[in-house]
Amino acid sequence: MSKTVLVVAAHTDDEALGCGGAIIKHVAQGDIVYAVFLADGVTSRPDASADQVEERISAATNAHQVLGIKQSYMLGFADNRMDNVPLLDIVQKLEEVLIKVQPQVIYTHHYGDLNVDHRVTHQAVITACRPVPGASVKEIYLFEVLSATDWNTPGVASFIPNVFVDVSEFLKKKMEALAAYELEMRAAPHTRSMANVRRLAEFRGSCVGFDAAEAFSLIRLLK
């Protein structure tokens, strides 16, 4: 039986970086994947403009065509300022999406990321996805994002993966999706480079005997 999957990310490009391979694999297996993005990802920059916001939305549209995401929702909170918004306001907006989509599986950020929007997104997901009777969500996975998960203070809520998804046959397509976000990617040896995305996938794969993998922290599994 197919599943409905919802990726809850702070910014467009986090979904491709954190779980792009898993998204493609879900779609290949017949699952339906949606995504919701909480912040605009641009307005914190000194040279931010409305055109740049539109460019990022356009890049996301192209990436999602490659990934196979059925529909995405943009909540439009200000970039890198989500800690200034009452959590309740964020949770209520997210709950509207959860009611529409009724996902069984959630992918979202690790709480220990350096980026404040990532941490607030995590809190909003855990709050909105409380395991009350009748709730649709049965599985919640946390992903890692290069230049966020790897940059925080060592030992502060470290990312400890316990689920590894074999993405060996989907890595090429993940890289194609990331190419749509070329303005967000950086040249090696920057951690958020195409070369390092590939290295991380190969490293995570080698930990468990795959050619390439994405690693996740499972925090809820209801059966």
DSSP 10-23: SSTTHHHHHHHHHH
Name residues whose C-beta falls within 8 Å of residue 145's C-beta, 6 or more positions apart in sequence: 14, 17, 18, 109, 110, 113, 115, 118
> By residue range, what is the domain housing residue 199?
4-221
Please classify residue 36 by burial: count the beta carbons closer than 10 Å to its beta carbon, then call 0-12 exposed, 13-18 middle and 19+ buried.
buried
CATH number (domain holding residue 52): 3.40.50.10320
- Report d(CA 39, CA 11) in Å as an integer: 6
User: Nearest CA to 85 among 21, 42, 38?
Assistant: 38
Which pLDDT score is estimated for 9?
98
Total structural domains in the chain?
A: 1
Which pLDDT score is estimated for 48?
65
Q: Are 24 and 64 a contacting pair, CB within 8 Å?
A: no
Name residues whose C-beta falls within 8 Å of residue 150's C-beta, 6 or more positions apart in sequence: 144, 191
Which parts of the chain have pLDDT scores under 70? 48, 50
The two tokens of residue 48 are: 């931010």
pTM over 0.85: yes
Which pLDDT score is estimated for 41?
78
